[in-house]
């Protein structure tokens, strides 16, 4: 058991070093980078597409798409929206790591980007443990997943900068105790900035877009 712990520690330490290199590269190009995490089906890609549609035209956005299998369904949608996208096939791994992201950064022209979204692998456990070099961690939780996720997967909620509650258009049809959900979040991450949105209708996106605009403006000063 001790040997296993030491190996895991070396892996995480190496990942942290690569993550710092990624951050330095992003900072040098003044690109604000967001790590988007969620469970499968929470609506990460539809959220990105709605974000693309509502961002001011002067903000140039790029996307890194993480998938466990070599399928291009999500990246094709983003490419069709006119955004540069790099797909990472993790080969079955349940998360992206700093090395994978670093390789993708080498393929993107960071000189023309203001904002980079990393769509992490759909998982509420592994992505929380691996730094990527991004500036902000954002979790997309969706109404159909249920209101107990903060209680079942606490680690991913602890290190968030923003929480998105997606698919609010389904609230009239699904039993979801918003107060219970938010109470669980508050215990783990007091005062966490939260945006309830619908990626289908666009409702609630104004606050999210304003936050993104401000962050992009800050890094480009």
Q: What is the CATH number of the domain that holds 130?
A: 3.40.50.300
Q: pLDDT tens digit string along 92-118?
A: 788 899 999 999 999 999 999 999 999
The DSSP line for 8-60 is: HHHHHHHHHHHHHHHHHHHHHTT-EEEEEEE-TTS-HHHHHHHHHHHS-TTS-
Pick from 115, 131, 111: which is nearest to 214 by CA?
115
Rounded mean pLDDT, 50-55: 96
* CA atoms of 132 and 134, how far apart (whole Å): 6
Which pLDDT does position 94 carry in this prediction? 86
In contact, 185 and 148? CB cutoff 8 Å? no
Instruction: State the pLDDT confidence band at 5, using cuts at 50, 70 and 90.
Output: very low
Say which residue, 92 or 148, is predicted with more confidence: 148
In contact, 149 and 65? CB cutoff 8 Å? no
Contacts of residue 134, Cβ cutoff 8 Å, sequence gap at least 6: 22, 23, 26, 33, 34, 35, 116, 118
The pTM assigned to this predicted structure is 0.91
Instruction: State the pLDDT confidence band at 152, using cuts at 50, 70 and 90.
Output: very high
Which pLDDT does position 154 carry in this prediction? 96
Which pLDDT does position 77 carry in this prediction? 85
Q: pLDDT tens digit string along 64-74?
A: 998 776 666 67
Which pLDDT does position 157 carry in this prediction? 97
Q: How many domains does the chain have?
A: 1
Q: pLDDT tens digit string along 166-214?
A: 999 999 999 999 999 999 999 999 999 999 999 999 999 999 999 999 9
- Please give the residue range of the domain that contains residue 26: 2-219
């Amino acid at each position: 058991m001790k040997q296993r712990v030491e190996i895991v520690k070396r892996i995480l330490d190496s990942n942290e070093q690569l993550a710092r290199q990624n951050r330095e590269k992003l900072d040098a190009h003044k690109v604000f980078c967001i790590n988007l995490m969620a469970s499968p089906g929470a609506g990460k890609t539809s959220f990105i597409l709605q974000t693309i549609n509502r961002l001011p035209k002067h903000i140039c956005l790029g996307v890194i798409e993480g998938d466990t299998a070599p399928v291009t369904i999500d990246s094709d949608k983003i490419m069709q929206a006119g955004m540069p996208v790099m797909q990472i096939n993790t080969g079955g791994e349940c998360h992206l790591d700093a090395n994978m992201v670093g390789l993708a950064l080498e393929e993107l022209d960071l000189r023309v980007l203001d904002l980079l979204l990393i769509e992490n692998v759909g998982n509420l456990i592994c992505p929380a443990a691996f730094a990527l070099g991004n500036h902000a961690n954002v979790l997309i939780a969706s109404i159909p997943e249920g209101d107990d996720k903060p209680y079942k997967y606490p680690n991913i909620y602890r290190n968030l900068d923003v929480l998105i509650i997606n698919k609010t258009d389904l609230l009239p049809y699904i039993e979801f105790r918003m107060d219970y959900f938010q109470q669980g979040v508050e215990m783990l991450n007091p005062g966490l900035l939260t945006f309830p949105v619908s990626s289908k209708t666009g409702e609630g996106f104004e606050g999210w877009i304003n936050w993104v605009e401000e962050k992009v403006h800050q890094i480009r000063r």
